[in-house]
Structures are given as C-alpha cells and as structure tokens.
Chains A and B, each alone.
Chain A
Amino acid sequence: MPAEDMGRVSRRLRVVFASSSVIFVAALAISPVKDLRQEWKRYKRDYVRFAQKRPDTKRLLEDFHSGIDQIWIPDLGVVDRCTTCHQGITQPTLGGASVPEPFRAHPTIPHGAQEWGCVVCHRGQGLATEVAEAHETTLAWEQPLLPVHFIQGACGSCHREGLPQTPELNRGRLLIEELNCEGCHELEGPDRPAMLGPDLTNVGRKVSRKWIYKWLKEPRTLTDANGNTTVDGVETTEEPRMPKFRLSESEIRALSAYLSVQRAKPLEDVKFDPRLVAVWSKRPDLIDRGELRFRQMFCSTCHALAVTRAGETKLVGGDIGPELTKVGSKVKPEWLAAWLRDPQAYLPHSEMPRYGWSDEDLFEVTQYIQTKLTDPDLLSDVPRLGAPTVEEIELGRRLFLEKGCASCHVVEGLPAPKDFGPDLSALGAKNVSQLDFGTSTIPRNLISYIQAKITDPLSVNPAARMPQYHLTPDDLDAVTTALLGMIGTPASSGMEKLIVPKREPEFHPLGEFGRVCERYKCYVCHQFDGFGGRLAPDLSYEGSRANREWLIDFLKNPQTLRPTLVLRMPQFNMSDHEASVIADYFGTVLQHDQVDPASVERREFTPQMAALGKELYEVKYQCQACHTLGATGGYVGPSLSDAGDWLTPAWIEAWLRDPQALVPETIEPRRAFTEGEVQALTAYLLTLRNAPGQHVPGSGGGGEK
C-alpha cells in the first residue's frame, strides 16, 4: 500500500472509531436508564407518592428503602421478594378495599409474612422481580399464584388435619372421601378404609340381575325428559357415591350376569311363625304397625325416605345408610329379613347396628318395607335378560377388573388393582408443562385441568376410564381446593418440618362393652376421644356428664334432648344388661379431669341458692333464649326440663365455668359467672326433675317435628 494512502484510510478508520465509540457510550447509558425504568422501581416510587398523601406518612415510610426487599427464611428455603412491591402488607392502617393494590395490608391471619414468607401460601415465584413472572406461568417461571378462591388448598399442604378456618378445604376432603376417589387414585392422607363400596361376594342373594342391570345403567340416578337429575324419583343435588361408568349394552349385560351369580354364602333362613303370617293376611291395618315400628326405631336417622308434603317431594332423613324410598322393589324378601336380623353376617364391614328384634317386629317391619317402600315401575324398562350364559359371566368377570369395579368392591376375594388411576398425591405441585391437555381447548392451567378431568374426563383424554361426576360448582371448587393442597412432600427442604399430621384416633374397647359397642355401632354417630362420627353428641366424657340411672333409662328409651332434631338416637331394643354394661363403662372410663365429683359432694345446695339460681336463669342471664323448660324456651341448646335427673352436679358446675374445656366445639358461650352464681345456677338446675311416673318412654313416631 502506498504511504500517502495510509493517512486517508486511517482518517476513515478514525471516523468509524469515533462513531462506534459514540454508539458504545450510548449503549452503556441505556443500561442505567433501563434499570431506572424497572417495573418494581416504579412501584417503589408510587408507594412513596402514595404514602406522602396520607396522614401517617412518617410511619409508612419508616422502614422504606429503595432497593429490592426480601423475606429470607433459610430454614424454609424461602426467598420472597414480594414485599418489594407489596410494601404495605404489614401496615395496620392500610387495610380495606379503599387502599389500592399492591399496597394494601394483608388481612390478619395466624401466619405473619415475616415468619412464613408469601409463597408458602400463595405459591407463585418468590424470587421473581417482575409482575408477570411472580404471578403467572411464563416460559421460565412455571408456578402461578394460587387464586384466592382456592387458597385454602395451600393450608392443606401442611395442615393434614382440618382447621376450623378452612371450611372449603375440609369439605373438599370430605367429598373426596365420600366419592371414594382413593379407590383408584393414590392420594395424600389417610389409608383407604377397609370397605369403599359394598362387598359383592354375595350380591346375587340380595338383588336380581334386572336390578343390577338398572343400577349399572343409571346408578340410582334417573334423568327425566327435561334433563333434570333425580335420585329414585327424588330431585337432589347430592352426587350418588356410585358414579356412572360408560358401559355399553353388552357390557352391562355381562356385568349383571357375572354379579347375579355371586352367591358364595347361603343366607340365614329367617322363618316366621306361621300364625303371624296367617294373621297378617287377614289384617291389612298391620302394615301401619310396621310403619310405626320403622319410625319408632328411628331408621330415618341413617336412612332417608322421599316424603311429599304440599306438593313438594324431598328426602327426609340421614345419609349414613342408603336412602330407602324404593328398597322394597330392590332387595329380595328373604335377604331383607336375614339382613335386618344380622347385617354383619352378610356384610362384615357394615355400619348398620344389630337391633334386638322380636319376631313380630321383624315381620311387621319387613312387610312394611316390602309393601310400602316400593315402585312397581322401577324395573319396567329393563329388557328381558334371561339366564346368565357362561360367556356373559366370563366377560363380566373380566370387565369387573378392567373397568375398575374391583377398586371399590370385593368379589370372590379379588384384590383391588394397584395403581389403577394416576397417583394424585402431588397433583397440586404439578407444572402446566407436566399436564396432558390432549385436544381440549380449556385454559392451560392446573385448575381448569383438574375441573375438566372431574366433570368431563373424555374432553381431556378420550381413552379415560374415569367415570363422570356431576358435582355442583361449589362442590367442584371444594374438591379442586383439596386436590390443589396435595403437593406430596414439599419441594423445599425445610418444609416437611411444617407438616401438621392428621390425628388418627383409635377407639377399640375390649371386653363386654367392646362387644356391645360393636353390636350397636355407637361410634358411627358418636365421638369417643376424636374417634367416630359427628352426627350425635361427643361421648368422650359422658361418664362425667350423665347420671347412671338416667343413662340406662335413656339407652332403653331414647328421647331426644334437642327438640328440633330430625335425626334421633334409634331405639335399639337393648336388654337391661347391655344398658348397664354401657353405663358402667362410661362411669368408669369416660371421665373428664376437670369434673370432680368430690368437689361438690360436701356442698349443700340449699333452696335459697336454687331460688337465686332461678332468678339468674330467668332474669339476669335469660337462659330461656336457648334452652327449653317444659314447653317454653328456645331450642338452640338441649332441653333442661330434667337436668337434675340427667346431669351430675360436678358436670354442671364445670360446664358453667368453661363449657369449651369439656366439649371444645360446643356453641354455648363461656360466661363470666362468679363462683357464687355457678353454685346457685347448679342448685337451680338440680331441682329440675321429671316427677316420678311422669317419664314418657320414647314417644317416637314423630319423624320430624
């Protein structure tokens, strides 16, 4: 290259260098400008401006600093930067809808943000510093915020035991249990119970093939021409426990054939006195006696019947057992009598108590059920099925396993198939990329996915075996909430320490009481130390509460203490001996520490004290607002008409001092009675007794009052 050219080139080069330096400097300047314009900085500036307009500016800006705020809890693996923008969440004066987001204070909850962070409950990305990345599913950050409507699911991730503050979660868990989801799915929570659906080993002795056919086609549910769903002719919003499976005509025929030949064990033959049968045929009015006995025994406490009043048909009665409106057209007569006499002989896991029957009662009640609780048209639309063929039975057996029937029902000891449905124990932690939406067009998020799976499984997976559920929107949300809480062992290492395990109480008394308790299934309705049903009063401390004589009397002739109850303690027809076994066990074992009979033994309850107590009861505290005496008073609490017969003095005193100490869930408010008032009220209540001979044995027959 000639020497004179070099200068020219270098001049051009200089221009290039100069302009690129300018561009370079400008590029360098972009970075701090961009940094200034970051989303979170805007919120920081907005907060200062917002705080300056308020009277308590100084306090609101006390802890303010201009950088990223972060809650760091190494133990839990929490690094939450949410407070960078949500700067007012701990400011008590920033509560309420009038404060704009993101500055609004968090409502007061048991867990403070500083101890727990935000993401533990709300999910989302604690580390992110951009609004979209913190709250939504983006390409890099997958976990979205949990919508507030489902937030109780997050409580469930650690609290395996239900909390009073989480009704939605508790109801969702209950529904999951009731709908037997754990038959096919692995779920977080307790192990599956011994019996999900009824044992079908002997079902051919109970119902006909036609009935099985009908049931499989429309399990309990009938849909009329207008699309209204009804259960045995009664409109209901309850989902029957047996869901509807998608079965073809030939599959239903095969399954009904297979099930109708399940007759492993012979039934106990209940033979009625021929004289009884002869009298019956001449006295049609005896049907009413059967009905009366049915009512007196309070079968309705567990079994509902459709009742039509004023043109409106509804189910009246409990839901522990199946509803019985048309059961007379369902079961075979010889099965019914054998079942009522000894339910456990047919179904060892049944919760039905074994009543004490006289032959006459048993005959009358079975006649009533077979004559009155019927529907001649129940099976009229079932085609002719004929005798089951060998091929049908063989196909039915295969379908029983393939369709998942064996997941809930036992037949010939076939074991429940393992991992029949997908494992759901960590469903709530799934990222969107882990979900298979198939061809469905639902929004790409976990909640839509769960809800589509439940309401229309085929929309997500055309080959799904899962039956279809028809939950109300509220029930669906509750179930979704509970499922969202199932996140398996939390990903972050410190979290498993937080899990509050579910208490698994046990109550298996032995000996004579154990046998009586097992016979009458006390724990199906009553609680004993947290074990058992919640339908009837908690009996954990019944021995401290009730007098022995009253208890024996009550067991033999149960009358309700609460005037409004539809569901009452059934009349079991128990013997004197059984009643005293129960009373003795209660008296020695079911005792509360704070109820000390010795403390009241030496106390004299004088008429003056009782008079003062009456005054306190009627005027100062006006207990009659909630308690009935005789025919007057409120019916929130139990009737106190025979409180003196019923309750022990020590229990009354302890109860008046602190009802929740004895029964934590009672709604009786704890009052600030003085010790003198406690004793006066006790003295008065002890005077409330049934006059001897005035005792009305179980009046029954009312059903609903």
Chain B
Amino acid sequence: MTRRILLVVLLMATSGGLTACRKKGAAAPPDALRNAYDSEVDWNDPQRVIPLGYEAAQGKRIFYQQCVWCHADTSPAGPSNRSNVSPTPPLFNDGNALNRESDDFLENIISLGGSAVGKSAMMPAYGRTLGQEDIRSLITFARAIAVPPYESPKNSVR
C-alpha cells in the first residue's frame, strides 16, 4: 500500500516536474497548439500554466483555428488581425470584458454574430460553422483563461 502511494506521489512529482520544465511562453505564442493541448500558459503571466479540462481543451483547439486571428495579440501567421478590426475586439482572456457577460450571451454572439446582439458586425456568425458543443467549449476555454479569473454565478451565490 505504502509503495502504491509512493508510486502515485512519484508520478505526480514527475508530471508536475514536466509541467514546470515547460519552456517560457510569450503571450499567446503563435504555436500554442504545439504546446500541451490540455493546459494553457497564462497570457499575462508566462510562469503560470492553467490546466484545462476536456471541454476547455477542445475549446482551446477551436480557438486556435477560428478565433485566434482577432482575439489574441499574435496569430499563427505572425501579426494579429486585431488592429484591422474596429472597434478592437476583446482579447479572449480579458476577464474585465467577458466575465460580466453570461454564457448565454456569449453563446449568442458566437452563434449569431455581433450584429444580432447589438455589437459590431465584424464579428461573424459561427452558428452554421461550429456546433453548439464547440461553441460551449469555446466559452469554457475563455472562462478558464480569464484574467481576472472568472467566477461562475452559481459559486458566487453560494
């Protein structure tokens, strides 16, 4: 039994060690998908690695395909497209902008586009490109990486 516990501790230590060895990442590195899929380096603090659950990890994958272009400071092609879009879209981890919006609102703006919810038409509608699961996983990812951190309404009520 003690050996088993020792083994688990050792395993955790190795995996912890591996995570700690991660190369220092710049803010939203363009090759973020090359890093571990189930964690994301905090965009504001390269030392902090945020673990992602299944949903958030799927959200991360879709984010780096579809959203990274306008909602991050760098894109897979190098420079971000944010500067070409006005009003400037919020960064995906911008808790100040996104934490106050409900999951339903975010689902609507992604699915129906900005103009449908009274925001910029530059945000296209993704409801016919992404499934509902995809969109929800994107929101889970945004919540996971939010700075300041996101607190779900359920938790704050309790």
A636 touching B69 in the complex, CB below 8 Å, given contacts A107-B55, A472-B23, A477-B36? yes
> Would A667 and B65 be within 8 Å (CB), given that A165-B58, A237-B23, A634-B85 are in contact?
yes
Contact of A564 among B33, B37, B78, B126 (CB under 8 A): B78
Closest to B38 in A: A149
Partner of A671, one of B38, B58, B120, B125: B125
Complex contact B155–A98 (CB within 8 A): yes
A641 to B85 Cα, complex, angstroms: 18
Q: Which residues of B contact A448 (CB under 8 A)?
A: 11, 14
Q: Are A667 and B85 in contact (CB under 8 A)?
A: no
B128 touches A625 (CB 8 A): no
- In the assembled complex, the CB of B64 is this many whole angstroms from the nearest CB of chain A, namely 9
CB pair B78–A670 under 8 Å, yes or no, is no
8 Å CB contact of B61 from A97, A164, A445, A564: A164
Report how far A445 CA is from B124 CA in the complex, Å.
Answer: 48
Residue of A nearest to B1 (CB): A132
CA distance A654 to B115 in the complex (A): 24
Is A619 an interface residue, CB under 8 A from the partner? yes
Question: Min CB distance, B53 to chain A, in Å?
Answer: 7
Given the known A-B contacts A443-B7, A635-B81, are A669 and B154 also in contact in the complex, defined by CB atoms under 8 Å?
Answer: no
CB neighbours (8 Å) of B97 from chain A are none
Chain B stretch 5-21: residues in CB contact (< 8 A) with chain A: 7, 10-11, 14-15, 18-19, 21
A672 & B125 in contact (Cβ 8 Å cutoff): yes
Does B84 have its Cβ within 8 Å of any Cβ on chain A?
Answer: yes
CB contact between B128 and one of A476, A624, A632, A671 (< 8 Å): that residue: A671
How far, in angstroms, from A477 to B39 measured CA to CA in the complex?
A: 13
Cβ of B47: which chain A residues have Cβ within 8 Å of it?
A: none
B148, CB-defined interface residue at 8 Å: no
Q: Is A313 interfacial (CB 8 A cutoff)?
A: no
Q: Is the C-beta of B149 less than 8 angstroms from some C-beta in chain A?
A: no
Residues from chain A with a CB closer than 8 A to the CB of B36 are 149, 168, 474, 477
Give every chain A residue within 8 A of B65 (Cβ-Cβ).
667
- Residues A672 and B61 in contact, CB atoms below 8 Å apart: no
Contact of A620 among B22, B115, B123 (CB under 8 A): B115
Residue of B nearest to A165 (CB): B58
Known: A474-B22, A621-B121, A626-B69. A633 touches B14 (CB 8 A): no
> Once the chains bind, are B61 and A165 in contact (CB under 8 Å)?
yes
CA distance A445 to B127 in the complex (A): 44
| A620 and B121 in contact, given A98-B155, A171-B34, A565-B77 (Cβ under 8 angstroms) | yes
Chain B residue contacts of A624, Cβ below 8 A: 84
Cβ–Cβ contact A669 & B55, under 8 A? no
| Distance A418 CA – B126 CA, assembled complex (angstroms) | 52
B79 interface contact, C-beta 8 A: yes
Contact B18 A670 (CB under 8 A): no
Contact B129 A669 (CB under 8 A): yes
Q: Are B33 and A477 in contact (CB under 8 A)?
A: no
Q: A108-B133, A562-B77 are in contact. Are A443 and B66 (CB under 8 A)?
A: no
Instruction: Assess the A672–B128 pair: CB atoms within 8 A.
Output: yes
A149 touches B14 (CB 8 A): no
Interface membership of chain B positions 29-42, coded 1 if the CB is closer than 8 angstroms to chain A and 0 otherwise: 00001111110000
- In the complex, whether A136 has a CB less than 8 A from a CB of chain B is yes
- Closest-CB distance, A408 to chain B (whole angstroms): 25
Would A625 and B33 count as touching, CB distance under 8 A?
A: no
List residues of chain A with CB within 8 A of the CB of B54. 107, 109
- Asked whether any CB of chain A lies closer than 8 Å to the CB of B146, the reply is no
- Is A566 among interface residues, defined by CB-CB distance under 8 A? yes
B8 to chain A: closest residue by CB = A136
Chain B contacts with A in 116-138, Cβ cutoff 8 A: 120-129, 133
Pick the contact of A148: B38, B58, B79, B133 (CB < 8 A). B38
State the CA gap A139–B132 with chains docked (Å): 45
**B interface, size bucket:** 35 or more
Bound: A444/B3 CA distance, A: 11
Q: Are A473 and B85 CB-contacts (below 8 A) given A448-B14, A669-B124?
A: no
Residues of B within 8 A of A669 (CB): 66, 124-126, 128-129
* Inter-chain contacts of A633 with B (CB < 8 A): 84
Complex CA–CA separation, A171 to B64 (angstroms): 15
Mostly, the A contact residues are: loop
Q: Which A residues are CB-close (under 8 A) to B22?
A: 473-474
Which residue of the partner chain, among B70, B126, B127, B155, contacts A636 with CB atoms under 8 Å?
B70
When distances are taken between beta carbons in the complex, the residues of chain A under 8 Å from B37 are 152, 167-168
Q: Is the CB–CB distance between A635 and B55 below 8 Å?
A: no
A443 and B33 in contact, given A625-B84, A634-B81 (Cβ under 8 angstroms): no
Whether B18 pairs with A473 at a CB distance below 8 angstroms is yes
A109 and B55 alpha carbons, distance in the complex (Å): 9
Q: A622 in the interface, Cβ–Cβ < 8 Å? A: yes
A667 & B11 in contact (Cβ 8 Å cutoff): no
Bound: A670/B126 CA distance, A: 7
Q: What per-residue 1/0 map shows which CB atoms of A102-123 lie under 8 Å from chain B?
A: 0000011100000000000000
Minimal beta-carbon separation of A476 from chain B (angstroms): 8
Contact at A167–B33, with CB atoms within 8 Å? yes
Q: Mark A634-669, 1 if CB is under 8 A from B, else 0.
A: 111000000000000000000000001000000101
Interface string of B64-84 (1 = CB under 8 A from A): 011001100001011101001
Q: Which residues of A contact B4 (CB under 8 A)?
A: 132, 136
Assembly CA distance A149 to B15 (angstroms): 10
> How does the 8 Å CB contact mask read for A596-635 relative to B, with 1 for contact and 0 for none?
0000000000000000000000011110111000001111
Complexed CA–CA distance, A568 and B43 (Å)? 30
Q: What A residues does B79 contact at CB under 8 A?
A: 564, 635
> Are A636 and B121 also in contact (CB < 8 A) when A149-B15, A474-B35, A669-B129 are?
no
For the complex, give the distance between the alpha carbons of A274 and B123 in Å: 62
Q: How far is the CA of A80 from the CA of B78 in the complex (A)?
A: 48
Report which of B34, B122, B154 forms a contact with A474, defined as CB distance below 8 A.
B34
Select A107's contact among B53, B115, B120, beta carbons within 8 Å: B53
Residue ID in chain B nearest A567 by CB atoms: B77
CA distance A237 to B21 in the complex (A): 13
For B124, list chain A residues within 8 Å (CB): 621, 625, 669, 671
Q: Indicate if the CB atoms of B18 and A477 lie closer than 8 Å.
A: yes
Which chain A residues lie closer than 8 Å to B129 at the CB level?
660, 669-670
For chain A residues 541-594, which have a beta carbon within 8 Å of chain B? Answer: 562, 564-566
Q: How far is the CB of B72 from chain A (nearest CB, A)?
A: 12
In the bound assembly, the distance between CA atoms of A477 and B34 in angstroms comes to: 11
Q: In the complex, A632 Cα to B54 Cα: how many Å?
A: 39
Complex: A171 Cα to B85 Cα, angstroms? 32
Q: Check B122 against A622 for contact (C-beta < 8 Å).
A: yes
Residues 447-490 of A at the B interface (beta carbon under 8 Å): 448, 472-474, 476-477
Kindly list chain B residues whose C-beta atoms are within 8 Å of the C-beta of A671.
124-125, 128
CB-CB < 8 A to A165: which residues of B? 58, 61
Q: Which residues of B contact A670 (CB under 8 A)?
A: 128-129
Contact surface of A with B, Cβ cutoff 8 Å:
97-98, 107-109, 132, 136, 147-149, 152, 164-165, 167-168, 171, 237, 443-445, 448, 472-474, 476-477, 562, 564-566, 619-622, 624-626, 632-636, 660, 667, 669-672
Q: 28 A–B contact pairs at CB < 8 A?
A: A98-B154, A107-B55, A108-B55, A108-B133, A132-B4, A149-B38, A164-B61, A237-B23, A443-B11, A445-B11, A472-B23, A473-B18, A473-B22, A474-B36, A476-B18, A565-B77, A620-B115, A622-B120, A625-B81, A634-B85, A635-B77, A636-B75, A636-B81, A667-B66, A667-B69, A669-B125, A669-B128, A672-B125
Closest 7 CB pairs between A and B?
Answer: A625-B122, A634-B84, A564-B77, A107-B54, A670-B128, A669-B129, A636-B69
What would 5 more interface pairs be, CB under 8 Å, given A443-B7, A472-B23, A619-B121?
A473-B18, A566-B78, A622-B122, A667-B65, A672-B127
